[in-house]
Amino acid sequence: MNTETDTRTCPTCRNEISAADPPNFCPTCGEVLNPHLRRIADGLLAAEAPWLRARVASGSWIIAASLFLIALLILPTILWRPFDPTAPWRAFAYLALAALWMGSLIVMAKGIWRTTSTDAHLRRALGTHASLVVLCRVAMLLALITILWLTIRVVWTEYDNPAADLSFGERLIDGSVFLRLVAGLSIGTALAGALMHRWRLDRLTGSHDASRWSWPLLAGIVVLLIGGVIFKASSHPLAGVILLAGLVSLCLWSAAWFTRAARRSLGNRPATR
C-alpha cells in the first residue's frame, strides 16, 4: 500500500484527502488509509478473528431478535385495550406489556454490549471511532432507566385509576413529554450507534453489506415517518396509521439489517447477488 498515495487519494472512493483531514481514515467513506492500522485490522482476522467474530455476530443476532419482538409489540401497545376496566386486576395486563417491553430492551442492551466489542486490538484499529462504543452503551443504559420509570408510572396510574378507553400506549403518551423524548432519543441513538459501529467494523475488515436494497429502503421508511409527522401536525386522519406503519417498518428493517450482519459475520465477505 502506498502511503503517499493513500494520504492524497482514497483508494475506495477516490476522494482527495487534504492535509487538514485525519490521515488514518477517509472522511468520506471511512476507508483505513494508515498502513499500520491496516496491518492491525488484517491481524484481527488471523489472531482475534474466532473470538471477535463470534462475539460480534452473536450481538447482531440478539439485537435483531429484540427488534423483531419490539415490532410485534407496537400494535398491541397502541391498539389493545384490556377488558374489564372496573377491576384493579386490569393493571396486570399493563404490567405484562411493560414486562415485555423491558425484556425486549434488556435483550437489545445485551446485544449492543456484545456488538460494541472493546477488544484492545480493535480499539487501536478503530482509533477515534471507538467513541461509538461509549455512546451506544451510555444511551442504552439511559433508555433502560427512562423506560423503566415510565412503565412503572403507567402501571401505577392504571391500577389507581382504571380507564376503559385507554391502551398502554395511550397511557404512556399521557406521561412526561421530556421523559418520552429522552427515552426515544436514547433508544434511537443506541441503535444508530451500534449500526454505525458494526458498519465501521465491516469496512475495517472488508466484510461490507452487499445488499442493494437496504439503504434505499431505509430512506423510504424515513420519508414515511416524516410524512406521518407532517400529517399529525395537520390533524390528518391517516397520520396515526402512517406513523405506526413507519415505526413497524423501521424496526423490521433494523432487524433484517442486523440479521444480515450476523450471517455475514465479522471478516467474512458475503456473496454478492
Listed by start position, the domains of the chain span 56-208, 210-261
Q: What pLDDT is recorded for position 69? A: 94
CB atoms within 10 A of CB 56: 26
Kindly give, in sequence order, each residue whose CB lies less than 8 Å from that of residue 205, ignoring residues fewer than 6 positions away: 41, 44, 45, 266, 267
Q: What pLDDT is recorded for position 21? A: 53
End-to-end distance of the chain based on CA atoms, in angstroms? 29
- Please state, in angstroms and rounded to a whole number, the distance separating the CA atoms of residues 202 and 266: 7
- Please state, in angstroms and rounded to a whole number, the distance separating the CA atoms of residues 149 and 243: 24
- What does pTM read for this prediction? 0.74
Dihedral pair phi/psi, residue 16, rounded to 5°: -75, 125
- Please state, in angstroms and rounded to a whole number, the distance separating the CA atoms of residues 158 and 100: 17
Q: What pLDDT is recorded for position 25? A: 66
Per-residue pLDDT of the chain (273 residues; tens, 9 = 90+): 444 444 567 776 777 766 555 556 676 666 666 666 666 656 555 555 566 777 788 888 999 999 999 999 998 888 888 876 667 777 788 888 889 999 999 999 999 888 877 665 566 666 656 677 788 888 999 999 998 898 888 888 888 887 777 888 888 887 778 888 888 889 888 888 888 877 777 766 666 666 777 888 888 998 988 888 888 888 888 888 888 899 899 999 999 988 888 887 654 444 333
- Please state, in angstroms and rounded to a whole number, the distance separating the CA atoms of residues 136 and 195: 10
Tell me, letter by letter, the H, E, C secondary structure of the chain. Answer: CCHHHHCCECCCCCCECCCCCCCCECCCCCCECCHHHHHHHHHHHHHHHHHHHHHHHHHHHHHHHHHHHHHHHHHHHHHCCCCCCCCHHHHHHHHHHHHHHHHHHHHHHHHHHHHCCCCHHHHHHHHHHHHHHHHHHHHHHHHHHHHHHHHHHHHHHHHHCCCCCCCHHHHHHCCCHHHHHHHHHHHHHHHHHHHHHHHHHHHHHCCCCCCCCHHHHHHHHHHHHHHHHHHHHCCCCCHHHHHHHHHHHHHHHHHHHHHHHHHHCCCCCCCCC
Q: What pLDDT is recorded for position 201? A: 73
